[in-house]
Amino acid sequence: MRPLIIAANWKMNTTPADAGELAAIIAARTEEPGVTRVICPPYVCLAAVRDALAGTNVAVGAQNVHHELAGAYTGEISAAALAGLATWVILGHSERRRDAMESDELIGKKLARAISSGLRPILCVGELLAERESGRAVEVVANQLRGALAGKDVEALINGGFVIAYEPVWAIGTGRTASSADAAAMAEAIRSTLAEDLGWGKSAELVPVLYGGSVTSANIGEFLAEHSIDGGLVGGASLKPDEMAGMVARAAITAMARAAAEGKPV
């Protein structure tokens, strides 16, 4: 059974003075069985969040990592610098693609670095509104996957806990969401691309696919009701303990239902 994951992307919010307290509150409010919880604060807040989450089973993630081990890359962060601070990393978020002009090839290099450094990656993919309206959404996402994953070691990715987050760009921070049916169809298309185009075969079914894009406690249930969706990559709502508590509680219900259906313990 694929894990149920609720990952919080705090983006450029919180400071070292308040991030730890917020993380501790969220951890205490979201103790539910069967759900993997991850908090991804800004770089400067990683130590505070790590310390606040000590003794819990909430993981800490970074929002990005450089593809090189070290070098003259002003303003960047290496995987070595994240050692002891984070165990997860978000890669290829649409805001990085837009603002830093990150290409699929570059994101693929970062993915390889994350896996080789023991960071569990969440690879973000998603289409623009114009691309969806023109009927090209699946094509765009498939091309992003091919660009980032071509030639990668499938076994290493699976063993490294590889996760994909489908985030339609037009839904991020806009209050709009994809329909649960559309999100589920895209999750299935993602696994089909892995299995057929990239030659992953049955290993594609092992990859958790999260939905992201204005996810809240009010709508997460619609997405988790789709068997092809395994949680959420949450933006603005992840800064609110009540919202996180509601989302994780709903994910726990889904985890129990899926485990029962497969005759497995949570």
Q: Using an 8 Å Cβ cutoff, are 248 and 37 in contact?
A: yes
Q: Token pair for residue 179? A: 């329909």
Report d(CA 233, CA 168) in Å as an integer.
12
- 6, 46, 72, 215 from 251: Cα distances, Å: 8, 25, 42, 13
Report d(CA 102, CA 99) in Å as an integer.
8
Question: Considering 95, 167, 226, 243, which one is annotated as catalytic?
Answer: 167
Question: Considering 93, 95, 131, 243, which one is annotated as catalytic?
Answer: 93
The number of helices, as runs of H, and strands, as runs of E, in the chain is 11, 8
Is 167 one of the catalytic residues? yes
Upper half-sphere CA count for residue 9 (Cβ side, 13 Å): 29
Is 93 one of the catalytic residues? yes
Residues with active-site annotation? 93, 167
